Amino acid sequence: MPYSIRRTIRKTRKKLRKITIFKSRRIRVIGRSPILTVRGICWLVNSGVPPEYRNIKSYCVIDTVLFGRLENKDRLISKIKERENFSLGRYIELFVDSRRFRTRYITSSVMNQTPEELIQLFVQWLYVFSPIGYNYDDFFEYELYNRTMKEAKEFMSYRYQRRMTRICRTERSYIKYIRKKPLFNKTFHNYVRRDYLDTTTCSLDEFKAFTAKHPRFFAKPIGGLRGQGASIMELTGSAKRLLKKCRKQKLIVEEIVKQHSDLAEFNQDTVNTIRIYSLLTVEGDPLITLASIKFGRKGACIDNFEGGGMFAALDVETGVITSDAVTRVHTRHAKHPDSHKTFKGFQVPCWDKVTKAVKKSALQIPQIRHIGWDVSVTEDGEVEFIEGNSSPAFDLVQAADQVGKKHVYKKHIKKLAKIRREQRRERRIKKLEPA
């Protein structure tokens, strides 16, 4: 490990130990969160101590009004434990999460942007929602700061998503068929009608033939996530030089999809994709659980958050948009900011055909029971799979209409978890049996 990183870790650990409350050389914690002083809380979120809290800056946070405002403070106090060791990894994780929490707060369009509010919200997240699995993104996207604990627990958290992923993956080796773009396109070739080329394996002649047919094309990393590294490319010079650049970045190049005219009315610069979640039940039946639709902005090349896009909730049965669109900074739009086309009530074209294609494809890889499909509809009304997600996040379907969707999965995940436990038990028994 480089010296500069070791030095940063050492300084962070010393600082966090200074701001942590000790008792008999043990650290007091709630769940996985250490109990800090008010000054320590302010330091974590990179904020000065607000004037209102200067008189109590050296106090333990559980002895201040900050903790007194929490809905279930008595229950939290009863859960306080003492730990002899608090791992260095957890220290670093807490430091990173707190700085990201501040960034999410500052970029949110619905906050008052005051130091006092930042500190209050951070204390609420750190001691109430973080111990039960809600990360800082969940806290802001689902507006947990305005909800009771009963209401908040209706939303699927980041921890619940990870648990679902573990339960729904029976064989990890099959993840590559979803994550690797060329393998995904090949596996589901029935619904991938566009031309594509893996630049890491293709020859120069193949690349020249592709660019001759598609001088302007879409490029993205083979194993990329969240649209990182995606761009529109054009052949303006040497094909050999461009291929070398693509190989260095490990890109897959694809023909630009010509989407349905109804979808293009919102924004023509990006392919506006539909996110559909499929779940293979215990009985082996493919189930469409949730759905949303993403819209890009003018001048962008991708429709997700990283490209400035927005999303709205879809009714699973009809394919009709049921909410306004929401952006990464929680701004809501009844109409698209560029085209001014209304979101609510829009009917996704060929919805029955789309859901039928997703259900059929979900059966191809039963080893991954839960998949998030990014789908579009072409100009001639055909289903076009863009990519898949083996561990799809739920923010696209819960933040848009601010309705928790845990009830959709609860009974199915309970059954799958039971089968998973039985399979593990059988494997352990089999290992103990004499050869």
From the first residue on, what is the mean pLDDT of each consecutive set of 10 residues in the chain (435 residues)?
66 65 69 88 89 89 89 87 78 89 89 90 93 92 91 93 90 88 92 91 90 89 77 84 89 90 90 93 92 89 79 94 89 91 93 95 92 93 92 89 92 90 81 70
Q: In this structure, are residues 358 and 349 in contact, taking their beta carbons and an 8 Å threshold?
A: no
Domain with CATH 3.30.1490.20 in the chain: 195-254
**Residue 93 confidence (pLDDT):** 87
**Residue 23 confidence (pLDDT):** 54
**Residue 170 confidence (pLDDT):** 83
**Beta-sheet strands, E only, within 9-120:** 22-23, 26-30, 33-34, 81-83
β 286-295/310-313 pair status: antiparallel
Which superfamily, per CATH, for 195-254?
ATP-grasp fold, A domain (3.30.1490.20)
Domain with CATH 3.30.470.20 in the chain: 172-177+259-416
Closest alpha carbon to 287 in 136, 415, 171:
415
**Residue 222 confidence (pLDDT):** 87
Helix or strand run (H / E) with residue 176: helix 176-179
**CA–CA separation, 414 and 391 (whole Å):** 18
Helix or strand run (H / E) with residue 240: helix 239-248
**CA–CA separation, 62 and 123 (whole Å):** 10
**Residue 301 confidence (pLDDT):** 77
Residue 174, number of CB atoms within 10 A of its CB: 15
The one-letter code for the residue type at 152 is A
Residue 222, number of CB atoms within 10 A of its CB: 19
Instruction: From residue 412, give the alpha-carbon distance in Å to each of 139, 175, 365.
Output: 25, 21, 18
Of how many residues is the chain composed? 435
**CA–CA separation, 9 and 295 (whole Å):** 41
Q: In this structure, are residues 420 and 394 in contact, taking their beta carbons and an 8 Å threshold?
A: no
| Structure token pair of residue 266 | 């919102």
CB-neighbour burial class of residue 75 (10 A; exposed 0-12, middle 13-18, buried 19+): exposed
- Tell the residue number behind the tokens 């060329």, with chain if given: 182
Q: How many CA atoms lie within 13 A of 400 on its CB side?
A: 27
The reported pTM is: 0.87
Contact partners, residue 309, CB within 8 Å, separation at least 6: 270, 294, 295, 296, 297, 300, 302, 303, 327
Q: Provide Rg for the chain, Cα atoms.
A: 25
Contact partners, residue 68, CB within 8 Å, separation at least 6: none
**Residue 278 confidence (pLDDT):** 95
Q: Which CATH number applies to 172-177+259-416: 3.30.559.10, 3.10.580.10, 3.30.43.10, 3.30.470.20?
A: 3.30.470.20
The one-letter code for the residue type at 230 is A
Find residue 315's DSSP bridge partners.
none
**Residue 14 confidence (pLDDT):** 67
